[in-house]
Amino acid sequence: MTDAEPIGRKCTQCGEWKDYKHFSWRSDRPNKRLTSRCHECRQKNHHENPETARIKANEYYHNNRDVCLERDKKRRWRNPARCLLLGARWRAKKYRLKFNLTEKDIVIPLFCPILGIPLRMGEGKCHSNSPTLDRIDSRKGYVRGNVIVISLKSKHHKKRCHS
């Protein structure tokens, strides 16, 4: 390689030569090429056309459902606290509850504090030993100090006792 040849890639949208670290790898291709647009241009395009981006994401999911499900399963195993956090955020939004949790607020113990059984992530679906986020006072929402990680089994027991 001569000194005149740039190291990196030219973005097809902005036309700038950038280092390879400014591009993503296309894992959906057999040869795993770099994307043609840099991170900044892809983000800008996503924010300018959110509806188009959503349609493309849905299309990709439907065409690669098995790959997406396997990827999501690995993510849950790597970071179960994040999985619990995202579920709580979704429920808070759906039911209009207060929410101010972060990943650091969710500590998953080795054993359920109520039943003493070991907590384990499920194989694709929940089981009685799966960790779950429970609100101590259900009127307060998902706020710091009002949530505890317990087993799904103890959550069902608690639900039966209060109904």
48-97 pLDDT, tens digit each: 888 888 898 899 899 999 998 888 888 878 888 998 999 999 999 999 99
pLDDT at residue 1, as a whole number? 47
pLDDT at 28 over 80: no
pLDDT at 26 over 90: no
- Percent of the chain topping pLDDT 90: 40
pLDDT at residue 3, as a whole number? 57
Cα(86)–Cα(91) distance, rounded to whole angstroms?
9
Q: How many CA atoms lie within 13 A of 24 on its CB side?
A: 10
Query: In the chain, which residues fall in CATH 3.30.40.220?
Result: 79-162
- What's phi and psi for 131, nearest 5 deg? -75, 140
- Percent of the chain topping pLDDT 70: 90
- Give the residue, 162 or 50, on which the prediction is more confident: 50
Q: How many CA atoms lie within 13 A of 139 on its CB side?
A: 0
CATH, domain 79-162, list 3.50.50.60, 3.30.420.40, 3.10.20.30, 3.30.40.220: 3.30.40.220
